[in-house]
Amino acid sequence: MTEPRYLSIDTNGVEAEQGAPAPDRLVSGAPAFRTWNVEDTGDGLYAGIWEATPGKWRIAYDEWEFCHILSGVSVIAEEGGAARTVKAGDSFVLRPGFKGTWEVVETTRKEYVIRL
């Protein structure tokens, strides 16, 4: 039987991966991550839900990522550029080469699609 072609971004039955920023990237706080990877094609395409508790860390993207904020408030600051506050309902793309910081002000949950 082939896999269905429709996939809900639903965390029921998906075990969350636990994580945190690498110690050398941590700027402040003690943020903790939970990731529910609903789609993993095996060839560098991922989709699911990510959640982080308050804190700030440095980010550097090699991948392309679409994000849609479901809840919470974060500030994403691009190195040498603007800081942007994102909240529920906001959608954006982080392109390869993006460097800066991600600060979770209020526990933030987002839907994501990543392409390596």
Q: Which two tokens stand for residue 66?
A: 């679409």
3 found inside a domain: no
Range of the domain at 108: 17-115
Q: pTM to 2 decimals? A: 0.94
Domain count along the chain: 1
Q: pLDDT by residue (tens digit) across 43-80?
A: 999 999 999 999 999 999 999 999 999 999 999 999 99
Q: Give, as one character, the DSSP assignment of residue 55.
A: E
Within 8 A by CB and 6+ apart from 115, the residues are 44, 45, 63, 64, 65
74 found inside a domain: yes
Q: pLDDT by residue (tens digit) across 80-107?
A: 999 999 999 999 999 999 999 999 999 9
